[in-house]
Amino acid sequence: MSITYTQFQSGFGVPNLSPFCMKGEILLKMANLEYQSNILDDPRKAPKGKLPFLTDKGVEIADTSFIRRHLEQDYAVDFDSGLSDTDKAVSHAMARMVEERLYWVMLYSRWMDDRNWLLIKDFWFGSMPVIVRNLVPMIALKQVKSALHGHGIGRHRAEDIYKFGAEDLAALSQQLGEKSYMFGDTPTSLDAVAYPVILNCMIEKLPGPLLEAAKSHENFAAYVERCNRLWFPEF
């Protein structure tokens, strides 16, 4: 098997706590390619210092945007077959909304919200030796806080950050409507982006305004269940 997909471990009842790790794996499934999954806990050991990444014929490809481009170019995959140019433009814009803002709201809700931080801390760092169990999480927390500040979203009040997230979720719900997938009866690249984040926002064990905003949209529950059955039936 020439393709190895390296990602974080699963947890909290979802295929992956990283929507990007889920996205990359969904793209492989949509491309009908066989691959071996490899779990890596320390992203510092990955190319570009983040997960996921793909190894194909000895070449490492980091970042899901480049993974998608690789699959499209090397395996002639069209993730948006049948979409009009206008639909493709909408898909591109909504994907950027999800990855460049809604994702960061989700990150904030997990690392900066006291209701969730202790759970996240225990999940990622609880198995570490006692001597570093408290030091490493504080370093990681400081890095995430700095990243949120650098992005810009971390400079706002909590209520404003969560309002951003609610607005983005509302836009996704409106796009989905009563359709099976974001653009109709067939999943497209936008589903590979949107479904992982929606699912991660609906984790009951991680409460808060983002969970409540996601649960307020009635079409999300059936959507994530449909996507679960299609791509991750084991969950």
77-105 residue pLDDT tens: 999 999 999 999 999 999 999 999 999 99
The per-residue pLDDT for 25 is 98
Q: Sign of dihedral through CA atoms 15, 19, 20, 25?
A: positive
User: Vertex 128, ends 126 and 131: CA angle to 5°?
Assistant: 115
In a domain, 80, yes or no: no
pTM score over 0.85: yes
Same domain, 148 and 208: yes
| Total number of domains in the chain | 2
The per-residue pLDDT for 1 is 57
Domain span at 170: 85-231
Same domain, 42 and 62: yes
Residues of the chain scoring pLDDT < 50:
none
In a domain, 110, yes or no: yes
Same domain, 99 and 179: yes
Same domain, 226 and 128: yes
The per-residue pLDDT for 128 is 86
Q: Residue 59's beta-bridge partner residues?
A: 56
Same domain, 115 and 172: yes
The per-residue pLDDT for 186 is 98
Beta strands 36-39 and 3-7 are parallel
At which of 53, 74, 95 does a domain end?
A: 74
In a domain, 79, yes or no: no
* Token pair listed for 22: 């889920």
Same domain, 95 and 54: no
Q: Residue 216's beta-bridge partner residues?
A: none
Same domain, 65 and 34: yes
Same domain, 195 and 97: yes
